[in-house]
Amino acid sequence: MYRDHNCGELNITNVGEVVTVAGWVQKIRNLGAMKFIDLRDQFGITQIVIGDNKEMQEKANELVTECVISVKGKVLERSNKNSKIPTGEIEIEAEEINMLGKCKNVLPFEINSEKAGEAREDLRLEYRFLDLRNDKLHKNILLRSAIMKTLRRKMDELGFTEVQTPILANSSPEGARDYLVPSRLHPGEFYALPQAPQQFKQLLMVSGFDKYYQIAPCFRDEDPRADRAPGEFYQLDFEMSFAEQEDVFKVLEDIFTTVFKEHTNWKVDEAPFRRIPYREAMETYGIDKPDLRNPLIIQDATKLFANTEFNAFKGKTIKIIVVPNGAEQGRKFFDSMTDFAKEEAGAGGLAWVKVEAEGYTGGIAKFITEDIKESLAKEYGVKERDAIFFVADEFQKAQKIAGLIRIELGKRLDLIEKNVYRFCFITDFPMYELSDEGTIDFNHNPFSMPQGGKEALETKDPLDILAYQYDVVCNGYEMASGAVRNHDPELMVKAFEIAGYSEKEVETRFGALYNAFQYGTPPHAGAAPGLDRMVMLIADSDNIREVIAFPKNKKARDVLMRAPSTVTEKQLKDVHIKVDVEEK
């Protein structure tokens, strides 16, 4: 009734046929005696031509951009062909035009033009149904669908079984705040939306399912981040019985190489991916998600300055970054990097020198003794025309600041390798860390197997215990996180005890796992690649909201559906809730 062809399939072989197409009016060009309409649907654009047909001219005068019409007419060969689109050799001479969906004359913002991205983001999100008509955004959502199909196909090929786990679950210490859902039937009690299907997938292993997966929604009430959608995100969650770390690595390598090679023309690292222990990553890159496209590395030079006269270095950890050919940069560049270090990286300052033909110049050159120069050349690879940046601070802060400086230098000096995906595993994460309050807390996943087992838990300093935990990192983004699971109930109790949980609390909060582990549990391991970030990287986007159909804004609000919002007193009474909010 509405169409017999879409707007992307007609070509020169269809000339002479009478066809019907339907779509949105993207552009109207009025040349007086003739009018041309670009008609768009999901599949492409077809040009409609209106000649001296008075009825069609009158119909065309009623049209505005983004209204929806169907057009019946004969396919003609175009005199001015457009090689940029598949339908560029033909056009349709309109014989009948029917209005299917009217549109307001004034749009909130331009949709498919060079100015499309200039609109305020909250306005675009408020009218997301219009924003998604933008060709780039529309293709991102189609790409997401295609990637999900590839993931499901690959997991099926690898022998995994897709199982859906509950959305209404229990509260769990996954590292962020839970979204709580009050129970109407059980006054004063709450469900929690799962931060991940962690306990359920482990219970499936106890249940005898060999390999499980799902594309799972995860919910975390945390502050928005540039690389994670606030509130909710999706991950390819999987778990394997009778598996160790190596087994999971093979699956992760297969997943990422398959998906990225199928959906991008960029170069993709082949398996096996490089493996970098957590401590090495922090020492070499200052971050546990290093962008390996950046050739710069961080080196420790603390020993070189043990007897320095430079007060800013005394008693500090000294990290250096050697920049090949960095001496070519002018003073303005070094000053701007110092400003970045102070304003963005939290440093008190940034020391630097140039290595030029006449020797060390600029910055702190007068504090670089001949002995230090010799060591820098011999041990740190410093040569003529290089620049050296120095970070001096407390150990962990020095690592972090140097990591941020390394990233910024890579960007400003255009050192980042182009059109390539560089993958690595970050391994051997610490089992525990110090919380902001100074107590022992889990560093990553609380259900992980400690390296060294029970003996390590009983004899080692908790901050020295490593876990069988791992991340997949690509181009500076954490793409997946996983672990070998702690499947021994005694080990589980001991691990949580170190983090401040009593056995009673473990039984209460994780009763299902604790109880299930008493009934024969296979060794198991798994991981969870992030779907949103995967699509973002493949789409070559730096904004995760551009690859999600209906995202929240930077303040975790859905401005389209106006959520979160207030509810009625009756709704609150039904779930036994009283709101205690100060009026603004």
Separation between Cα atoms, residue 46 and residue 9, nearest integer Å: 9
Backbone φ and ψ for 522, nearest 5 degrees, come out as: -75, 150
Q: What is the DSSP string of 508-562?
A: HHSHHHHHHGGG----EEEEEEBHHHHHHHHTT-S-GGGGSSS---TTS-BTTTT
State the CB neighbour count (10 A cutoff) for residue 174.
19
Under DSSP, is residue 197 helix (H, G, I), strand (E, B) or coil? coil
Q: What is the pLDDT of residue 491?
A: 93
State the CB neighbour count (10 A cutoff) for residue 440.
16
Q: What is the pLDDT of residue 118?
A: 81
Q: What is the pLDDT of residue 226?
A: 64
Confidence band, pLDDT 50/70/90 cuts, at residue 222: confident
Confidence band, pLDDT 50/70/90 cuts, at residue 572: very high
pLDDT, one tens digit per residue, over 436-490 is 888 999 988 888 999 999 999 999 999 999 999 999 999 999 999 999 999 999 9
Nearest CA to 225 among 397, 429, 437, 478?
478
pLDDT, one tens digit per residue, over 295-341 is 999 999 999 998 888 899 999 999 999 999 999 999 999 999 999 99
Q: What is the pLDDT of residue 436?
A: 84
pLDDT, one tens digit per residue, over 392-408 is 999 999 999 999 999 99
Q: What is the pLDDT of residue 366?
A: 92
Q: Using an 8 Å Cβ cutoff, are 278 and 427 in contact?
A: yes
Separation between Cα atoms, residue 212 and residue 164, nearest integer Å: 10
- Is residue 13 exposed (0-12), middle (13-18) or buried (19+ Cβ within 10 Å)? exposed
Q: Please give the mean pLDDT across all residues of the chain.
A: 94
Residue 175 has pLDDT above 90, yes or no: no
Residue 212 has pLDDT above 90, yes or no: yes
Of the ranges 227-231, 320-324, 526-530, which one carries the lowest mean pLDDT score?
227-231
Write down all domains in the chain, each with its CATH number in brackets.
12-101 (2.40.50.140), 139-273+424-494+520-547 (3.30.930.10), 294-416 (3.30.1360.30)
**Left, alpha or beta for 565 (phi > 0: left; psi -120 to 50: alpha)?**
beta
Distances (CA, A) of 8 to 11, 16, 41: 9, 17, 8
Residue 62 has pLDDT above 80, yes or no: yes
Q: What is the pLDDT of residue 509?
A: 84
Q: Using an 8 Å Cβ cutoff, are 38 and 65 in contact?
A: no
Residue 4 has pLDDT above 70, yes or no: yes
State the CB neighbour count (10 A cutoff) for residue 535.
25
Q: What is the pLDDT of residue 173?
A: 58
Q: What is the pLDDT of residue 61?
A: 92
Q: Using an 8 Å Cβ cutoff, are 273 and 424 in contact?
A: yes
pTM, entire model: 0.93
For the segment 419-430, the average pLDDT, to the nearest whole number, is: 98
pLDDT, one tens digit per residue, over 114-151 is 776 788 999 999 999 999 999 999 999 999 999 999 99
Q: What is the pLDDT of residue 174?
A: 56
Separation between Cα atoms, residue 330 and residue 342, nearest integer Å: 19
ω before 462 within 30° of 0 (cis)? Answer: no
**Which DSSP state fits 413?**
T
